[in-house]
Amino acid sequence: MRIGALALQGDFREHLHVVRALGADGVEVRTADELETVDALIIPGGESTAIGRLATIYGLIEPLRDRIEAGMPVLGTCAGMIFLASGTLRYEQPQLGVLDVVVERNAFGRQVDSFEADLDVTGFADPVHAVFIRAPWIHKVGGDVDVLAAVEDPETGESRPVFVRQGRILATSFHPELTNDTRIHELLMEVD
């Protein structure tokens, strides 16, 4: 299986390291031609504004949208989740709009509020040790979106999704690529 990581900016090498360890062929994707060669795609952590801008000027928005809408499995982490989403609270920025959620950027606060914690995930026997870095959460989910993990909003007590699935699209607020837990990458490889 050939898995691409969108390599415009961010920690794409960490993702490729994980999928290669799982036996997949991991490749960096920076162009529409490179995108054509992969069976699945990871959109890494990074700065969503930088990734969105580079994807726009290098003509990647339409090819990405077409491949994902045609059923290519995709995993977006943190900035990747924001880029997949259909909208962002307060900010206007380039997004693919293939995942029917509205995200809130920097939802937990600034870097001093970044944290790591154990997180219960639907379908996983043991919790995931999740690393949240200036992380987004999901403000609003659409009808076809399954929430696999959520946190409690410390201010309102509302439940805020941090791991969702919509068909073959997986998105996390946190960074599975920064820990040794490979279950979320395995999920991407097995998605059907």
Partner 1 sequence: MNTSASERGTDLVKRGLAEMLKGGVIMDVVNVEQARIAEEAGAVAVMALERVPADIRAHGGVARMADPSIVEEIVGSVSIPVMAKSRIGHFVEAQVLESLGVDYIDESEVLTPVDENHIDKWNFTVPFVCGAKDLGEALRRIGEGAAMIRTKGEPGTGNVIEAVRHMRMMNRQIRQLTVLDENELMAAAKELRAPYLLVKEVASTGKLPVVNFAAGGIATPADAALMMQLGCDGVFVGSGIFKSGDPSVRARAIVEATTFYQDAGKIAKVSRNLGEAMVGINIDTLAPEDRMQDRGL
Active site residues: 78, 175, 177
Find the shortest distance in angstroms from Cβ 69 to partner 1: 25
112: contact with partner 1 by CB under 8 A: yes
42: contact with partner 1 by CB under 8 A: no
Phi, psi of 148 (to 5 degrees): -95, -20
- In the window 147-176, what residues touch partner 1 (CB under 8 A)? 149-152, 154, 175
d(CA 173, CA 132): 7
Q: How many residues bind partner 1 (CB under 8 A)?
A: 46
Cross-strand bridge partners of residue 149: 163
The side-by-side arrangement of strands in the sheet containing 169-172 is 25-29, 2-6, 40-43, 74-77, 169-172, 159-166, 146-152
- In the window 58-77, what residues touch partner 1 (CB under 8 A)? none
Binder among 25, 34, 47, 181 for partner 1 (CB under 8 A): 47
CB-nearer residue toward partner 1: 180 or 190: 180
Residue 20 amino acid letter: R
